[in-house]
Structure 1
């Protein structure tokens, strides 16, 4: 007995029936997995394979019925088969729902993991950018430090040169001060000598003036007195 259904480019009733017969003859219960393994076909719907297995079993029961199998036994077997098939279908549907939930959970977890990976990659890129910025800043600071160190070294050299120059000027100043002291002493001595000479000259002048006054008297006019005074003064 055959039933209509959706066509499949991977499966058909004849192929599945032949596989089920081979498996049954080998003592293997035909199932979706055993039929797929026997035919080495992974594609296609499990529901399609299961439907063809069910048709094969129904046809097999019908064939056994035609071989004068007692009707009560056929009815009991048929009922048992349908019950088992119903249980299997329910289990299959439950497994599909669980699988769908697992797939959704897996997809959600994969999406979350991808988001976490993206965040981690972004964090890593940010860390690398910050590290590069820090390295650049360190290079700039190093260059600035080298420049300032060079300027400090040059300033110290200039200070040393200025210190030497100041020391030299101090020495020169001390020498000039010493010379100035000597010169001042000489000037003081010359001033004393000049004062002495001036005093001597004034004393001599006063003596000569007194002599002239005594010798000539006071009856001379101013011109005559000056002429006599000059002649006596420069003798």
Structure 2
């Protein structure tokens, strides 16, 4: 399994993963196409496209062309499907990443994200935030408030830019077979590597920000009639 594949599906997951709330509820089911564009400091640019499906029971699948990743929030597993070898690599999510963080004075996650702009895009309410870090890094996030999904995100740091976008978003329950390991695949249990992933990539779907960041509202955007 290539490192590029792992990175693409991990970044795509940031657009769509949302954890259960305190009542155990999950966001509405949906399907969408996604596009991730990487711009390196030397100006070189490459784009990866794929498809995302999310079930009402908290399962999500990302297809990236080179394979697929299935995330199951109830069982706490992430499964990488490697089609070229008919293998399913199963990772277990650490317990602390399966539940929403407790907010409070000692939390690294702000209890509210204010102020932020709300606008309407394609008939859907969108909340926009711009986060600026101490080292000059910026993170722009657009969230569809009704679906609890990040539809657009742009990260800039160290001269590099990553832009992620959902397109052709549709609501409705996907085919349940999409979230199952295909027949004939060999299951390979893998040690968890989510601690290292979590330290490198911030999960924008829940806006986990490090200490010392400041949140700046976007400039007003006209609301569609």
What is the TM-score normalised by the length of structure 1?
0.19
**Structure with the bigger percentage of strand:** 2
**Structure with the bigger percentage of helix:** 1
What is the TM-score normalised by the length of structure 2?
0.20
Greater C-alpha radius of gyration: 1
